[in-house]
Amino acid sequence: MPDDRPIHVTRPFLPPLAELTPYLEEIWESRILSNAGPLHERFEGALCDHLGVDHASLVANGTLGLILALRALKITGEVITTPSSYVATSHALLWNQITPVFVDLDPDTLTIDPARIEAALTPRTTAILPVHCYGIPCDVGAIGGLAADHGLKVIYDAAPAFGVRLRGESILAHGDASVVSFHATKVFNTFEGGAVVCRDPATKQRVDELRNLGLAAGATVVSTGLNAKMSEFNAAVGLVQLRHVDALIDRRRELDRLYRRLLTGCRGIRCPALPAEVTANHAYFPILVEPDHALGRDALLERMARHRIHARSYFDPLISDHPMYRDLPSARPENLPVARRVSRSVICLPLSPDLADATVETIVGLIAGA
pLDDT-based confidence at residue 1 (cuts at 50, 70, 90): very low
- Tell me which residue of 46, 86, 83 sits closest to 238, measured CA to CA: 46
Q: Are 363 and 304 in contact (CB under 8 A)?
A: yes
What are the pLDDT digits (tens) for 189-242? 999 999 999 999 999 999 999 999 999 877 899 999 999 999 999 999 999 999
| pLDDT for residue 345 | 98
| pLDDT for residue 205 | 96
Q: Do domains 17-241 and 245-368 have the same CATH topology?
A: no
Q: How many residues in the chain?
A: 370
The sign of the CA dihedral 150, 151, 157, 162 is: positive
From the centroid of its chain, how far is CA 247?
20
- Alpha-carbon distance of 56 to 68, in angstroms, equals 13
- Domain range annotation of the chain: 17-241, 245-368
- Alpha-carbon distance of 25 to 226, in angstroms, equals 29
What are the pLDDT digits (tens) for 134-158? 999 999 999 999 999 999 999 999 9
What are the pLDDT digits (tens) for 279-319? 999 999 999 999 999 999 999 999 999 999 999 999 999 99
Range 245-269 average pLDDT: 97
- Alpha-carbon distance of 132 to 109, in angstroms, equals 9
Instruction: Give the number of C-alpha atoms closer than 13 A to the C-alpha of residue 51, restricted to the C-beta side.
Output: 28
What are the pLDDT digits (tens) for 171-194? 999 999 999 999 999 999 999 999
- Alpha-carbon distance of 34 to 52, in angstroms, equals 25
Instruction: Decide yes or no: CATH 3.40.640.10 for domain 17-241.
Output: yes
Parallel/antiparallel/unpaired status of strands 153-157 and 177-181: parallel
Range 344-366 average pLDDT: 97
What are the pLDDT digits (tens) for 8-63? 888 899 999 999 999 999 999 999 999 999 999 999 999 999 999 999 999 999 99
Q: What is the CB neighbour count within 10 angstroms for residue 41?
A: 12
CATH class of segment(s) 245-368 = alpha beta
